[in-house]
Structure 1
Amino acid sequence: MTQELDKTFDPATIEARWYQHWEEKGLFRPERPDAEPFTIVNPPPNVTGSLHIGHALDNTLQDIVIRYERLRGKDALWVVGTDHAGIATQMVVERQLEERQDKRTNYTREEFNDIVWKWKAESGGTITRQLRRLGCSMDWSREQFTMDEHFTKAVLKVFVDLYNKGLIYRDKRLVNWDPKLKTAISDLEVEQQTIPGSFWHFKYPLADGVTLDSGQEYIEVATTRPETMLADMAVAVHPTDDRYSSVVGKHVILPLTGRRIPVVADEHADPELGSGAVKITPGHDFNDFEVGKRAGIAAGEMLNMLDGDANVCQTADGLVPEEFIGLHRFKRDGVDGARELVVQRLKEQGYLIPHITKTKKGEEQELDAEPRQIATPFGDRGGVVIEPWLTDQWYVNAEELAKKPIAAVKSGEIEIVPKSWEKTFFNWMENIQPWCVSRQLWWGHRIPAWYGDNGECYVAMSEAEAQAQAGEGVALTQDSDVLDTWFSSALWPFATLGWPDESALLEKHYPNDLLISGFDILFFWDARMMMAGYFNTGQAPWPKLYLHGLVRAADGSKMSKSKGNVVDPLILIDQYGADAMRFFMAAMESQGRDIKMDEKRVEGYRNFATKLWNATRFCQSNGIGASDTLAAPEARLAANQWIIGEVQQTVEALDEAMAGLRFDAAANTIYHFVWSRFCDWYLELIKPVFAEGASEAAAAETRAVAGWVLDQILVMLHPFMPFITEELWHAQGEREYELILAKWPNPRASVSKDATDAIDWVIELTGNVRSAKNELGIAPGAKLAAFLPQPSGVASRTIERSSAAIERLARLTPVTVGEAPAGPAMQVTAGSDVFVIPLEGIIDIDAEKARLEKALAASEKEAKSLDGRLSNANFVERAAPEAVEKAKADFAHHSAEVERLKAALARLG
């Protein structure tokens, strides 16, 4: 028995209710022991996070896949959880302490971590509640956290195993140091920004009375970071640069410090850039670090002139003048820093080479430095300039771990979709650098390494094991660093299933079947999961990786808070419902392309949901309820056979799209079927069946077929729009199970080609008649006489059997098989049939021709003008992107208008 629907579709009244129902009944858990497993894991959002539009896209796509596979009978598991987010979480908690005039260092490490755990319990679940609003059918009963006890055990085991195999080691190297967060960060967490800066030129005097061949007593060097000269250890020139060949191996005396440093030949120096000589500070520049190593300077000998706060400290050789000690590297709060004082002292001592430029009046002007735009690294979280800093850190031999993932992608064992991302993957993986995995934080997985007072290091699962290695009497101190968050999240596909302990869950659901992620974490996370998967389990974590694009602003620009163009998905859900937003994400997700945000499209999909709601109300009003069959019912009527055939074609197209992860094709397939085939055509075709005096047998058949078709729609649409489909599923009658556990359509029907051809013919005829009327300004409801001189077989049969449908839909009556009378007429086709429709007395032919010719001339003129503008390279290259896009859209519109108007004139003869 159907449950009468409200007249108005209101998503807010059904979404929270259904999600709570699904979760309370445990319907997201995989409980089909004999079924084929299907497993995905969500990229674990930061525990500090809240739902943004990228999360909405990422999780919508995953939910579509998991609901689809669940409906296909798989034992579907979607693993959910959050990441402890070391830097982000510590920042949040420390900020809260600052608001109370408190700070982390007022507590012991253990006390501070207790505060963080308390924060997590009270405030760390925001994003998981928001994922529920989106409709994500995750298995919350197995919700994971990267600091859970079992997960921590897995993390420690991996570290110890890598160490024991020589793949984790401690080394002194340059790192990206964030002076605000006081920790090393990865290359991937560094953002390059172009900011105003300067290019200074200095004299470095040659030592021992040596001069250049030109007689010059100094080498000119240029730099954007003059403060680092306090730790210079060499000057590099190109091996082929004849200007300096005589002084290679000689020395200069570094100004201010008096340090004696060599001139070295190295291809890093560009003879065409500046003077061709570059200062080398291996302890504070990544390129210089490599030059220093090639010059024979060991990492332990490289000079460090900054502390963790980026304040000047004394170098190992003690040559930094006392007045610089304690100064910040840059000017801060109006107080000059080391940079300003270095430039001032070098200028005072005659070592600064001024930059000569000309004013607007042509007069020469002397500046201390050349103004330039400088590419500068910033920390993505700390927001300050990153300092290359020489320090002892723990590293993973990523080059070795990358070998199996590279081979797997090349062999096809792991498929990357879209394939275009493979080139980027190989480029990074084949040039991968050692992975710095230690972070100078308190919150996170503490590195399981203990240092003995005997100078040895012991790596073990616990202090007791480390002590056993060291022996009695050796005092141990644990490393104070924690592991990079990405180290632990790399274990997500298997540690979430209980690894390293063996279990039925792990055996069944690992490897996972698919990973869906944004392309922006291909290296942060995806590639590292491949490395971890192969190293720890000997298997790929999944056979297929799908990388989706970004959601951009409507104009194609990247969303950012500073631009004010960020879209809050929760606001969209409040306005249009989760179903509409989800469908937008799916319909716009085209492989390899970013999504442009378009709220009007979201609103349009809300209208789509409303149309389905109203179609279901129509069905209920005509006694059409739930079906009790998976196979299609028996059907004799042409319209019923036609719609059954359409269901079969739609299921096949949907399955093909989903197999290829073509989310846009899948969404558009079901959209077209629901809106056009079912609502616009089928429901119109069957209305006469329910009219007074119609055959009861025909009505009974149609109720069975229509109820079955609506059920198939609800199942096929459910992965995209889970809330409205579940509501309508139950409104249609008593069910043994929720829609989320229904079976994927399997019509298993054969239909008459004559019947389906006839309906397709009527639909084509109707559409073409309506278009022709619109072009000529004829009222849509006007009934017109039509003549068909040479009918095809399908035309003859359809006119004979379905003249009422032709009259009602195409508004053609009477239809005469024979020649049309002489006079103005338009021609309309349906298949191979050409109908002649007289227009005498219907419209003013001459006036209509004049109107169409005037409109045609205007559109041709506008299209020609726009074509000229778009063919002009200066316009395309220099105009604002939005202006170019508008010109392209206008050209497409007027070009289409030209074709439409020509066709309309042709109809008038």
Structure 2
Amino acid sequence: MSISKTYSPREAEDKWYNYWMEKRFFRSVPDDREPYTIVIPPPNVTGVLHMGHMLNNTIQDVLIRRARMQGKNACWVPGTDHASIATEAKVVAMLRERGIEKKDLSREAFMEYAWEWKEKYGGIILEQLKKLGASCDWDRTKFTMDQDLSEAVVDTFVHLYKKGWIYRGIRMVNWDPKGKTAVSDEEVVRKEVNQKLYYIKYALIDQQPTGSHQPSVNSYVVIATTRPETIMADAAVCINPNDGRYKHLKGKSVYVPLINREIPIIEDEYVTMEFGTGCLKVTPAHDLNDYELGVKHRLSVIDILNDDGTLNEKAGILVGEDRFAARKKIAELLDLHHHLEKVEDYKSQVGFSERTDAAIEPRLSMQWFCKMGEMAGPALDYVLDGEIKLIPDKFVNTYRHWMENVKDWCISRQLWWGQQIPAWYNQHGDWVVAKTREEALDGFLEKADPDRKFSENAARGFKAQLDPFLKQDDDVVDTWFSSWLWPISVFDTSVFGDPANPGNADLQYYYPTNDLVTAPEILFFWVARMVMAGHEFKGEAPFKNVYLTGIVRDKLGRKMSKSLGNSPDPIGLIGKYGADGVRVGMLLCSPAGNDLMFDESYCEQGRNFANKVWNAFRLLKGWEIDDSMPFANAVPVAWFGNRFAEALEEIDQHFDGYRLSEALMATYKLVWDDFCAWYLEMIKPAYQQPVDRETFNHTKAFFSQVIRLLHPFMPFLSEELWHDDVFGERAESDCCIVAEYPVLGHPTNEVLLSEIQAVKQLISEIRNLRNSKQLSPKEALPLTVKSGSDTDYQVYKDIIVKLANVSEVAISEEKVTGAASFLVGRDEFFVSIPTGLIDAESERERITKEIGYLRGFLKSVDAKLSNERFVANAKPEVVENERNKKADAEAKIRILEENVIRLT
């Protein structure tokens, strides 16, 4: 079978992905093999593939493919998250386009539209992942609102409520006016924004100015605020009791500007005397710290904002205005009525909703909360004890800080799309928590008749009378309250089984999972909570390793985003460079936990690498084989076999340390440099000449190893080459995806590796010499070796003659006069070149520079060896290595100094 001149990624990708799916290579069922399990961080159903997804899922696919080739039962569970806030916003927008308002719909009707939207758009991102080559077990695809997964969420709520860890109460929460829902602390993104600091005059009681006259300085206090639109909710003005400037204000009151409502002046050391004017307006309904002050001083709470961020009737003025529009208008009114002293530019940190990017409003609200204190302790211990490894470990301290300072979790959301909170209310506002309506009726009956004195008819009548009034809580639980069960519920939705029965066969086999690959920004509101859930519900950690990827940034260091226009279309990149090229490009610049500066040139490099491998294979395939020829390449074959083993050990170590970028780079160098640039050149027959059978078979075997080593990174190219007829006819199931991953066979021959490294350096020196003297590469030059080591260069004569084009390799005890010279290790080489092409002065200058460098190097080595502490504390082999460096440098300096004298 002939092979095309160029590699066609699109053809190979479609062909082999369909073949893998058809033959069910991704499918995993429990058996007697060692399991290797990854659960995908479920992307939002609203999402389409972006660069972060590309990186995250490439890493997961590399890990799962390698495990599969190592003979493990590899199971990668895919799925999507219902994303309550984002999806509801999409559905509301869809309805608005159809002329429908959410408020005009029943909950049931809205949910029908939501499911319609999900079925149409929710699977897009999973289909896009297939283009990347993601080898998920698609038969196991889950959705966080699947019926059984939703039941597990409800069971969890009921369980934690009965345990006393879920409660309902009025608390200050982060309110998203755009999503019209509470969000957790972890869903608030802090951004520095340019604002204004408004200095507002609050008139003292009994000194209120009449008309529009400017009040005297002693008749008011000045308060600096960035939020003048909230003054109508002020409950007090606070001063620091230690602030001498304001002692005369103790016990007095002021009028709130514009509305003339009287509020007291209170004292509290919470006030920072250095900020603004040292006076603080206290607005308990709209600031968390103000709320705490309000509780402490028993202040009134006035909430002047509606759910959507507009002013309500309690504001008294500008009712119905958006909060930011009201800010400008309030400032104008304050100025008009002489209540505004000045305005300054000011920068500060403001919270924004992670989902809608709306500025967060601190707001008092009746919500459901989950206590986190008792769950945080064990979840922290798993990481500190090393049972769960965070990679890189720099995140351990961050994790510890969050866990040690964890706050109760606001788990209710004012939405319809999601798992409805299993709380049921009667006509009086009393509630019970129950999984079903029938269980709720039983719960109210138990409250009404704790001693069970009702007759059966009376109990039935009680429930029948209550039933028409029974209403389930309108809110849904936070999306993360669903997804913290993900590693459990994708295998077994019976979260709370009999302790004697740990779960179904899947859960027993696949759980706990092996590796989780995710982004650091969800370390707390997903990863930490999964650890909590794993401990609480299964008594063990849900995974063993957490690989935290970096943020994908552009080459200027900016986070990629649609708004900046600096994020390429991932599917477009795949179309341009091939999936393998993009996978390699992403991994070349992605050390774990560190942000990666992505540039499209990395994908081009990946595509070029694929073409390099393809062309190398075409070279092999084009050789004619002569069975009568003797084996002519024993040394190159022995060298590359050892070099492959050496590289494989390094690559395995990188994988063990989750250094995937380094593992790829080591693979890249082995294939491009060692195999293509050196080994193939060493054994390549002359133009239109045959190669011996043994050399061909060894090279074919090496190529088989290389292809398998590449497969996790470049699955399509490797599968395409695996099925070439060079390797004979393959059975249907004989595919690279399940071929045995290379394993270390024998110890490496360190002497051979070291000597070939010297030969490669020798060849490079001769090539550089040709270039500097502008000598034709076709002109053979005589080479003389004055050896200072144990290397027998005659053993490597054929390689040197072929790759350096020398006419002879002579061994001499003497230096060669009139020849260019250079050192490789302790060996000195002389290349005789045509008369007149050696510039003695330039050669002296070159050698002198090299001597200077070596003397500097020798000085640094001497400094180490003269340091008694270093010699006493360092490992003996480290000290011996430094002594060898010293001896080598001294020997080289002696040789070079002799060469300078010879040129004089």
How many angstroms apart in 1 are the aligned matches of 2:335 and 2:575? Answer: 63
Q: Post-superposition shift, 1:851?
A: 12
* Residue matched to 2:476: 482
Structural mapping, 1:524-539, within 5 Å? 524-539=525-540
Which amino acid in the other structure matches residue 480 of structure 1?
A: D
Task: Report the more deviating stretch, 470-479 or 782-791.
Answer: 782-791
2:717 is aligned with 1:719: no
- Residue 273 of structure 1: how far off its partner (Å): 1.6
* Paired residue secondary structure (2:769): helix
Corresponding position of 1:83: 81
Matching residue of 2:486: 492
The Cα RMSD (Å) is 3.1
Unaligned runs of 5+ in 1: 332-336, 356-368, 626-633, 857-901
After superposition, the C-alpha distances for 1:706-745 in whole angstroms (9 at most, x for unaligned) are 2221111111111100110011111133234211111121
Name structure 2 gaps, 5 residues minimum: 209-215, 446-462, 496-502, 851-895
Q: Secondary structure at the match of 1:330?
A: helix
Residue matched to 2:98? 100
Instruction: Tell me the residue number matched to 2:397.
Output: 423
One-letter code aligned to 1:719: P
In terms of mean alpha carbon deviation, does 571-580 or 390-399 score higher? Answer: 390-399
Distance 1:908 1:499 in 2: 84
Matches of 1:550 and 1:13 in 2, distance apart?
32
Q: Secondary structure at the match of 1:35?
A: coil
Corresponding residue SS for 1:261: strand
Cα shift at 1:408: 2.0
Q: 1:164 to 1:823 in 2, by over 3 A?
A: same
Structure 2: distance between partners of 1:764 and 1:851: 22
Question: Cα deviations across residues 532-559 of structure 1 (Å, max 9, x unaligned)?
Answer: 2222222111122111111111222222
Q: Structure 1 residues 131, 354: CA separation in 2 closer, same or farther (over 3 Å shift)? A: same
User: In structure 2, what residue type is equivalent to 1:730?
Assistant: H
Aligned mates of 1:747, 1:255 — CA distance in 2: 80
Shift of 1:223: 1.3
Secondary structure at 1:152's aligned position in 2? helix
Query: Structure 1 residues 232 and 702 mapped into 2: Cα distance closer, same or farther (>3 Å)?
Result: same
Deviation of 1:81 after TM superposition, in Å, equals 0.3
- The aligned runs of 1:684-723 (5 Å cut-off) are 684-688=681-685, 699-723=692-716
Q: 1:813 to 1:442 in 2, by over 3 A?
A: same
- Please give the alpha-carbon distance, in whole angstroms, between the structure 2 residues aligned to 1:303 and 1:818: 99
The answer as to whether partners of 1:785 and 1:813 remain within 8 angstroms in 2 is yes
CA distance in 1, matches of 2:810, 2:546: 60
* 1:730 lines up with 2:717 in the alignment: no
Post-superposition shift, 1:60? 0.5
Check 1:383–1:307 CA distance in 2 against 1; reply closer, same or farther (3 A cut). Answer: same
**Cα distance change, pair 774–730 in 1 and its aligned pair in 2 (3 A):** same
Aligned residues: 815
Does residue 638 of structure 1 match 2:638? Answer: no
Which stretch of the first structure deviates more once superposed, 151-160 or 101-110? 101-110
**More moved, 839-848 vs 650-659:** 839-848
Instruction: Give per-residue Cα distances to partners, 1:65-116, cap 9 Å, x unaligned.
Output: 1111111111111111001111111122222222222222332211111112
Does residue 1:435 correspond to 2:429, yes or no? Answer: no
Given residue 728 of structure 2, which amino acid in structure 1 is its aligned partner? Answer: G
Residue in 1 that maps onto 2:889: none
Matched-pair contact (CA < 8 Å) for 1:284–1:304? yes
1:794 alignment partner, SS class = coil
User: What is the aligned partner in structure 1 of residue 383 from structure 2?
Assistant: 409
Task: Find out whether 1:507 has 2:504 as its counterpart.
Answer: no
CA distance in structure 1 between the partners assigned to 2:318 and 2:149 by the alignment? 47
> What residue identity is the alignment partner of 1:718?
H
Note the C-alpha offset of 1:137: 0.8
Structure 1 segment 571-590 matched on structure 2, within 5 A:
571-590=572-591
The CA distance in 1 between the partners of 2:624 and 2:740, in whole Å, is 24
1:543 corresponding residue in structure 2: 544
Does the alignment pair 1:277 with 2:270?
no
Alpha-carbon separation, structure 2, partners of 1:32 and 1:436: 38
Alignment of 1:805-816 (within 5 A): 805-816=799-810
Structure-1 residue corresponding to 2:661: 664
Comparing 587-596 with 107-116, which one deviates more in the overlay?
587-596
Map 1:294-373; keep pairs closer than 5 Å: 294-297=296-299, 302-315=301-314, 320-321=315-316, 323-331=317-325, 337=326, 339-347=327-335, 349-350=337-338, 352-355=339-342, 369-373=343-347
The one of 23, 45, 48 aligned to 2:46? 48
Structure 2 counterpart of 1:876: none
Counterpart of 2:309, as a letter, is A
Q: Which residue of 2 aligns with 1:386?
A: 360
- Work out the CA distance in 2 between the residues paired with 1:251 and 1:543: 61
Superposed CA offset, 1:35-55 (max 9, x none): 111111111111111111110
Q: Who is 2:459 aligned against?
A: none
Question: What pairs up with 1:446-485 in 2 under 5 angstroms?
Answer: 446-471=420-445, 472=463, 473-474=465-466, 475-485=469-479
3-state DSSP class of the match of 1:709? helix
Per-residue deviation, residues 456-510 of structure 1 (Å, max 9, x unmatched): 2111111221111112133311111111111111111111112326211111111
Match of 2:893 in 1: none
- Counterparts of 1:836 and 1:189 in 2: how far apart (Å)? 69
C-alpha displacement at 1:231, in angstroms?
1.0
Q: 1:766 aligns to what?
A: 763
Q: Are the equivalent residues in 2 in contact too, given 1:177–1:387 (CA < 8 A)?
A: yes
CA distance in 2, matches of 1:708, 1:245: 90
**1: CA distance between counterparts of 2:690 and 2:664?**
40
Letter in 1 for 2:229: E
Question: Partners in 1 of 2:735 and 2:486 — Cα distance?
Answer: 31
Identity, % of aligned positions: 39
After TM superposition, give the deviation of residue 226 of structure 1 in Å.
Answer: 1.4
The alpha carbon displacement at 1:290 in A equals 2.1
SS of 1:402's equivalent in the other structure is helix
TM-score by length of 2: 0.84
Letter in 1 for 2:695: T
Indicate yes or no: 2:23 matched with 1:25.
yes
Aligned to 1:183: 181
CA distance in 1, matches of 2:542, 2:279: 49
Query: 1:263 Cα shift?
Result: 2.5
Of 202, 205, 215, the match for 1:204: 202
